[in-house]
Amino acid sequence: MNSDGTVNVRVIYPSARKPAEREFSLRTPVCQVKAFALGEFGITEGADSQNPANQVVFFLFHGRTKVEDLNQPLSAFHKGNQQEMVFRLIREVIVG
> pLDDT per residue over 19-36, tens digit each?
999 999 999 999 999 999
CA-angle at 34, arms to 76 and 40, nearest 5°: 140
Question: Is pLDDT above 90 for 83?
Answer: no
Rounded to the nearest 10 degrees, how much is the dihedral formed by the CA atoms of 40, 42, 46, 52? -160
DSSP β-bridge partners for residue 73: 29
Q: Are 8 and 1 in contact (CB under 8 A)?
A: no
Predicted local confidence at residue 2, as pLDDT = 66
Model confidence over 37-68: pLDDT tens digits? 999 999 999 998 888 899 999 999 999 999 99
Question: Is pLDDT above 80 for 92?
Answer: yes
Q: Which ranges of 1-96 does DSSP label H, i.e. alpha helix? A: 30-41
